[in-house]
Amino acid sequence: MIEGGRLATVVVPRDALEAAREPRNAESLTCAVVAYVNDIQRVGIYTGPELPAAAMQAYHADYYLSQVCNGGHSQFIGNTGIKMLPTTSGDALAGLKAMGADAQYQILLEAMAWVEAHPDEAALQNGFTERAATLKALDERFYGAERLQPMTPLAARWIASWSELRAVATEQYSSEIERLAQLHPHLSQRRIWRSVRQISFQMTDPLQITVAAACGAVAPDPEIKLAVRSGSHMDVEGEECLAFVVLTDKGTRICVFEETGGRLYELREPRPMPGQARMTPQNLGNFLPHVGVRLSVVGADTIRTFTRIAEQNLAAEAIDLLLRRSDLDPAGTITAIRVGDGSATWYAVTREARIVVATFGDRADVVGLDGRAALTVTRAEIERHAAEAAAGRDSMRGQS
């Protein structure tokens, strides 16, 4: 049920509630509430202000606890970000007060007063290289307060008293989350918006489209981009380059990302170390992964053209619509294959299948093995789908 614009139910597994009756197992219930908030936001695409206020207070109080225990108030401020700090700290303070964690409440109150008085210094906090002396002192007080009266048992006792709490059997939890998701009046539109946004990101983000185009440029057969991993500076063909690990259907690759475009390389696995081998600076490279054969090169002009045509032809909306019409999961990974005068061809890979999509100014086609259109959506249909995605996006504006 939704009351006053907020969902009125918090669902947790019954096992977690029963386990938390023992103070030493209190974390089972606080973790269950954190999981609920994450799950209902993922499945139902609810925003924070649309969830039960107490759930968000417990969620952010637990977040505050974990951040400070890991890297102090400096990390809490840095990881939260100045923009989100008022909402996050406001929820956490309300939660701390409600659960009776008086000492921790006072400490967070003082930390936020420091942020307000020192905005420039607060913006630099990261828990590592930047840690303000005042925040370090608050850290020590917080750790002392936790030793005397830890937050988690207080939080579990408070959560167990909620009138909105509903405990269900573990095997019923997922279906109950889906039932609550279906209560949201904008669920369908928000799900379209989310998947369109994910596809669009792969076509417009400079790194993502560079990798997608570099994979698609491999000859004679394009490689299918599956994931983009971490990047670092490494030696590639005698030059230090910014390069990212990429997973494709052919294996692990390295993609160089630079202003002039992208280059895709094999990533050669290290040699197995013989049992009696001795590692030396001279032979170290033999036992580490290293860049292998160059597989493709794609220029910056081609990459920009892919993005321009994608935006012009509503390619993200078209691919999302075609995946749905094909009864496939719209959460696909995108590889850029070819781009021409007003059109582009893409691979879209889901958990179930891989399809080829050609996007044009007036339509988009799923291309069959014979090279002909197996399924077509018109520009008018694509624009209607884009309007649904926009309505989902607009329904979330002004919410955090």
Output the CA torsion sign for 18, 21, 27, 33.
positive
The model's pLDDT over 343-363, given as tens digits with 9 standing for 90+, comes to 999 999 998 899 999 999 999
> Could you give the percent of the chain with pLDDT greater than 90?
87
Mean pLDDT throughout 17-22?
Answer: 95
Contact 363, 317 (CB under 8 A): no
Per the DSSP assignment, residues forming a β-bridge with 235 are 240
Least confident range from 130-139, 213-222, 223-232, 267-276: namely 267-276
354 and 238 in a single domain? The answer is: yes
160 and 215 in a single domain? The answer is: no
- Number of H helices and E strands in the chain, helices first, is 14, 14
Least confident range from 17-31, 78-92, 243-257, 269-283: namely 269-283
Long-range contacts of 179-185 (CB under 8 A, 24+ apart): 180/7, 180/9, 180/11, 180/40, 180/44, 181/40, 181/43, 181/44, 181/45, 181/46, 182/44, 183/1, 183/2, 183/7, 183/44, 184/2, 184/44, 184/45, 184/46, 184/50
Which is nearest to 260 in space by CA: 301, 217, 202, 307?
301
| Number of other residues whose CB lies within 10 A of the CB of residue 208 | 19
Q: Which 3 state secondary structure label does DSSP give 48?
A: helix
Task: Quote the domain boundaries for residue 238.
Answer: 186-400
- Tokens at 81, concatenated: 């970000």
Q: Is the pLDDT of residue 277 over 60?
A: no
- Tokens at 133, concatenated: 């002396």
171 and 211 in a single domain? The answer is: no
**CATH code of the domain containing 58:** 1.20.1420.60
From 167, 184, 201, the end of a domain falls on: 184
- Tokens at 77, concatenated: 């401020």
Q: Is the pLDDT of residue 272 over 90?
A: no
Mean pLDDT throughout 265-283?
Answer: 63
176 and 257 in a single domain? The answer is: no
From 144, 163, 184, the end of a domain falls on: 184
179 and 191 in a single domain? The answer is: no
What end-to-end distance do the CA atoms of the chain give, in Å? 21
Q: Which 3 state secondary structure label does DSSP give 330?
A: coil
246 and 276 in a single domain? The answer is: yes
Q: Which of 150-159, 225-234, 283-292 has the highest mean pLDDT?
A: 150-159
Which is more confidently placed, 182 or 273?
182
205 and 237 in a single domain? The answer is: yes
Cα separation, 122 vs 132, in Å, equals 8
Maximum Cα–Cα distance across the chain: 72
- Please tell me the predicted confidence (pLDDT) of residue 268: 80
- Please tell me the predicted confidence (pLDDT) of residue 273: 53
Cα radius of gyration rounded to whole Å, the chain: 26
From 154, 184, 214, the end of a domain falls on: 184
Contact 206, 262 (CB under 8 A): no
Q: Is the pLDDT of residue 230 over 70?
A: yes
Instruction: Count Cβ atoms within 10 A of the Cβ of residue 398 and give its class: 0-12 exposed, 13-18 middle, 19 or more buried.
Output: exposed
Helix, strand, coil tally for the chain in percent (to 5): 50, 20, 25
Cα separation, 269 vs 260, in Å, equals 28
Per the DSSP assignment, residues forming a β-bridge with 2 are 7
- The per-residue pLDDT of the chain, averaged, comes to 93
Contact 324, 353 (CB under 8 A): no
- Please tell me the predicted confidence (pLDDT) of residue 170: 96
Cα separation, 33 vs 159, in Å, equals 8
- Tokens at 164, concatenated: 């909105």
Band of the pLDDT at 194, cuts 50, 70, 90?
A: very high
The model's pLDDT over 116-173, given as tens digits with 9 standing for 90+, comes to 999 999 999 988 888 899 999 999 999 999 999 999 999 999 999 999 999 999 999 9
- Please tell me the predicted confidence (pLDDT) of residue 2: 86
230 and 174 in a single domain? The answer is: no
- Please tell me the predicted confidence (pLDDT) of residue 279: 52
Give the chain's domain count. Answer: 2
201 and 318 in a single domain? The answer is: yes
Mean pLDDT throughout 330-342?
Answer: 94
Which is nearest to 267 in space by CA: 279, 255, 258, 276?
255
Band of the pLDDT at 398, cuts 50, 70, 90?
A: low
Band of the pLDDT at 287, cuts 50, 70, 90?
A: very low
The model's pLDDT over 253-268, given as tens digits with 9 standing for 90+, comes to 999 999 999 999 999 8
180 and 190 in a single domain? The answer is: no
Q: Is the pLDDT of residue 271 over 80?
A: no
268 and 223 in a single domain? The answer is: yes
Cα separation, 312 vs 322, in Å, equals 17
Cα separation, 266 vs 294, in Å, equals 7
Which residues fall within 8 angstroms of residue 362, CB to CB, at 6 or more apart?
378, 379
249 and 167 in a single domain? The answer is: no
Find the angle CA(59)-CA(64)-CA(68) to the nearest 5 degrees: 150
| Backbone dihedral angles phi then psi of residue 227, each to the nearest 5 degrees | -165, 150
Contact 316, 203 (CB under 8 A): yes
Mean pLDDT throughout 164-187?
Answer: 97
